[in-house]
Amino acid sequence: MEEILKVQQIAQTYQAQNGELTALENISFAVKKGEFVSIVGPSGCGKSTLLSIVAGMIRPTCGRVLLQGEAVEGISPRIGYMLQRDNLLEWRSIYQNVLLGLEIQKKLTKENEAYAAGLLKAYDLWDFRDKYPSQLSGGMRQRAALIRTLAVRPEVFLLDEAFSALDYQTRLAVTDDVYRILKQEGKTTLMVTHDISESISMSDRVLVLSRRPAHIARVLDIRFDDPALMPLQRREQRQFQEYFNIIWKELDVHV
């Protein structure tokens, strides 16, 4: 499979009043088309910084990011980025919220609007299009936020702790939901999380980052006997615990 996203020797150093801080050190990896890759690491190791660099929101001190061979310079409409919270705008209906990305990118054509409407229909939000975010459940809100990003048709999806604002039960359900939608739409995904279980349940591959200055400590291919398992089903598999232990040891967490 074609390597759609390449991250080459990324390093990031922060300048602050009281000194210099190296957050990332020589990070290289590639993501194939349709693949789901997770990055896990100890908190504060610079996972989110790495994702912001891939999204083109932060310029790295060294290295570069290639999207289909082209260097990413600045925010690209080919990359979709999802944050911790759904950030739906309370004063807009669900339909208007879903169109926000298209509106900002000035691509609000009849065709694109129909595409967004199609997504709402396909993922059971069409009946709620005239409701306001406060009238929806946490899971539905997250789905609406996902459709808002899908509507601008990005090639690569970046998820930055996208489920951590939800309570545990909702989170498990939303994980299944988002996974199903992303696979159905054939999207390439790079996810940052601190949740080991979440990374194993969703990914084809897990990159484990070390403590600061972060480098890739381990790359773990996740294989289950049945490749069609959903995240919740994966959690019941024998291998799940094994993968968990490997990552847990690698993270070397101390209290």
Q: Is 131 in the site for another protein (CB under 8 A)?
A: no
Nearer to another protein, 137 or 241 (CB): 137
Closest by CA position to 4, among listed 218, 158, 177: 158
Number of residues that bind another protein (CB under 8 A): 24
Binding mask 137-166 for another protein (x = CB under 8 A): ---------------x--------------
Local structure of residue 165 (DSSP, 8 states) = T
Q: What are phi and psi of 226, to 5 degrees?
A: -105, 110
Closest by CA position to 241, among listed 197, 176, 192: 197
Tell me how far apart the alpha carbons of residues 65 and 74 are, in angstroms, rounded to a whole number: 11
Q: Is 112 in the site for another protein (CB under 8 A)?
A: no
Helix or strand (DSSP H, E) at 113: helix 110-122
Closest by CA position to 205, among listed 187, 184, 225, 191: 191
For 43, residues 6+ apart whose C-beta sits below 8 A from its C-beta are 194
Segment contacting another protein by CB under 8 A, of 62-70, 84-92, 237-245, 247-255: 84-92
Nearer to another protein, 188 or 201 (CB): 188
40, amino acid identity: V
The residue from 45, 50, 100, 196 that contacts another protein (CB under 8 A) is 100
Segment contacting another protein by CB under 8 A, of 4-12, 96-104, 113-121, 173-181: 96-104
Q: Given the DSSP bridges, would you call strands 70-71 and 216-221 parallel, antiparallel or unpaired?
A: unpaired
Segment contacting another protein by CB under 8 A, of 1-9, 63-71, 102-110, 173-181: 102-110
Segment contacting another protein by CB under 8 A, of 29-37, 64-72, 92-100, 241-249: 92-100
Binding positions for another protein, rule: CB under 8 A: 55, 57, 75-77, 80-81, 83-85, 87, 89, 91, 93, 95-96, 100-101, 103-105, 130, 132, 152
